[in-house]
Structure 1
């Protein structure tokens, strides 16, 4: 009897702790692509979503399937605004999508080319090819004319599409895994396999801040007012930096042996940082203390094995809810308690 009581106590404690760690009841859900997505981005206020669906073939009578290509949605109105179709004539898979800070433009990229879209007009601004490396991440300024690419050859490339000016940032010695660009296009943040992240001036290429890690830098993010930066590596280190002083504000407090971040975004006021992971978890952090405030588990793709969903993007909407977008083709809104 004593042994049974101990097992029951352990079971109850486990359930209690699980409830503390994960709050899985979302406030709203949009199942936009039941077959899943290869890339999925949200606007800063989480009103708009742009995602890519790749289908080799679609059963004619299967109405649940979504057409292959780029889809632009209004989540507030819960309706599709524009179907852009494929990015190029080869129907290449779109792996990266970023929507500009003002929600007007977007950049999408395959491994070898990228396109810019005017979301307001529902048209393409053009398609450009990259020949000297594989694209690993992208970013775009609010005017839709300045873009930033992170490449496998160690280059971070800034391009002004209006003037044709191209700046190659060559400080990284290995692959550039993650890039972020300020809304005005003047400042860039890049992180790579060389264990470094750099904040640099897109006019001169001058390094303004250097952030060193013990492992490969896998994720970067900039607060929209230029107050903070976030850098994280492939191990267990995620740091928030004061960009004015270059000093570390805090390290994210996590018990995980290896915490990998697939996306990150600061709240507009910079008080919160929201992150997503390849395993489907969505976390909210206090930027001052590094303390985890909330944690949720995203809905996995149906019939997928293993049942997980990569979190491609996160944002905070006007209702102050966290919204996540995943490879399962699902967007979910979570209430911050």
Structure 2
């Protein structure tokens, strides 16, 4: 009887916790690709979405008016699948990448600024600065490459000894954060290549991101260690708290003021975190892609709109805006 009583108690506790974690309600949705998408990104203010699908190729949407702004088409003559899309912080430019090439887009003019090929490794991740002139690449050969597309200046960052999984660049293009399979993340200068901070982990680093003002950074590994760092001191500010054995992210973004962090997972979950305490504030389950078995979805991106609502974009081709009953302050 005591065992049964304890089991019942744990079931009640788990149910209450799940109710807390998944209490958010959807406030709006946009279905942009019925058959799903291989990549989708949101602008920082969650007004614009850029996505790629095999059926309709590359499309730019204005979510505030639910309007398709333009069909950008294919990236290269071979019609390679676009696997990564990133907006610049100001939303003016975007970069799209296959495994072997990348294109920069001036979204104000709805046209490509050029197509560049990469020959010494496959592209794992990419980021772009505000002026659309600098990009940062992560490659399978362990290199992180900073390129000034106007001057042609190229800086190879060689501190990683295994595949680079995730990269992030400051809006002004002067600083980079990279993380890889060698269990290390580095915050470094794109002007000199000098390492400014080293963030070691015990497992492979899957996701890194910078807060737009340069105050904070997130490094997250393939276990359950996701750490927020103070970049002024290089010291840990908080570790995200979770009961899960694994805390794997497919996307991460700080709020503009750095008080909040929103993360997406490969398992259809969006979570909101307090960056000072590391506590999870709330979580949401995104729409699954039902045309595959079993139905599933990867959260490719998440952002905060101008009202601080969380907006998520998933491989199901569905973007969702979420309400929350909690006060985030």
Does the alignment pair 1:107 with 2:95?
Answer: yes
Equivalent residue for 2:50?
50
Q: Cα gap change, 1:291/1:82 in structure 2, threshold over 3 Å: closer, same or farther? A: same
Structure 2 residue corresponding to 1:234, chosen from 203, 219, 222? 222
Give the conservation status (yes or no) of the 8 Å contact 1:40–1:325: yes
Give 1:192 shift.
0.5
Cα distance in 2 for residues equivalent to 1:82 and 1:269: 32
After superposition, give the CA deviation of every residue in 1:279-321 in whole Å (9 maximum; x if it has no partner). Answer: 0100010001000001011110123222221000010001210
Structure 2 residue corresponding to 1:137, chosen from 106, 122, 125? 125
Structure 1 residue corresponding to 2:185, chosen from 191, 194, 197? 197
After superposition, give the CA deviation of every residue in 1:52-71 in whole Å (9 maximum; x if it has no partner). Answer: 0014xxxxxxxxxxx2x100
Structure 2 residue corresponding to 1:151, chosen from 139, 143, 157? 139
- Secondary structure at the aligned position of 1:26 is classed as strand
- Secondary structure at the aligned position of 1:18 is classed as helix
- Runs (4+) of structure 1 exceeding 2 A deviation are 4-18
Matches within 5 A, 1:166-185: 166-185=154-173
TM-score (norm 1): 0.92
After superposition, give the CA deviation of every residue in 1:30-77 in whole Å (9 maximum; x if it has no partner). Answer: 11101000000000000000000014xxxxxxxxxxx2x100000001
Cα distance in 2 for residues equivalent to 1:302 and 1:246: 44
Structure 1 residue corresponding to 2:106, chosen from 82, 97, 118? 118
Give the conservation status (yes or no) of the 8 Å contact 2:44–2:303: yes
Give the conservation status (yes or no) of the 8 Å contact 2:290–2:296: no
Cα distance in 1 for residues equivalent to 2:13 and 2:251: 32
Give the conservation status (yes or no) of the 8 Å contact 1:34–1:302: no
Does the alignment pair 1:221 with 2:215?
Answer: no
Equivalent residue for 2:296?
308
TM-score (norm 2): 0.95
Structure 1 residue corresponding to 2:277, chosen from 285, 289, 292? 289
Tell me, which stretches of 5 or more residues in structure 2 are unaligned?
Answer: none
Equivalent residue for 1:83?
71
Cα distance in 2 for residues equivalent to 1:173 and 1:11: 45
Tell me, which stretches of 5 or more residues in structure 1 are unaligned?
Answer: 56-66
After superposition, give the CA deviation of every residue in 1:191-217 in whole Å (9 maximum; x if it has no partner). Answer: 010000000100110000000000001
Does the alignment pair 1:333 with 2:282?
Answer: no
Does the alignment pair 1:250 with 2:238?
Answer: yes
Q: Cα gap change, 1:255/1:14 in structure 2, threshold over 3 Å: closer, same or farther? A: closer
Q: Note the aligned Cα RMSD (angstroms).
A: 1.8
Give 1:12 shift.
6.5
Does the alignment pair 1:72 with 2:60?
Answer: yes
Cα distance in 1 for residues equivalent to 2:11 and 2:240: 29
Aligned length: 323
Q: Cα gap change, 1:246/1:7 in structure 2, threshold over 3 Å: closer, same or farther? A: closer
Cα distance in 1 for residues equivalent to 2:134 and 2:76: 21
Q: Cα gap change, 1:9/1:152 in structure 2, threshold over 3 Å: closer, same or farther? A: closer
- Secondary structure at the aligned position of 1:178 is classed as strand
Cα distance in 1 for residues equivalent to 2:143 and 2:5: 61
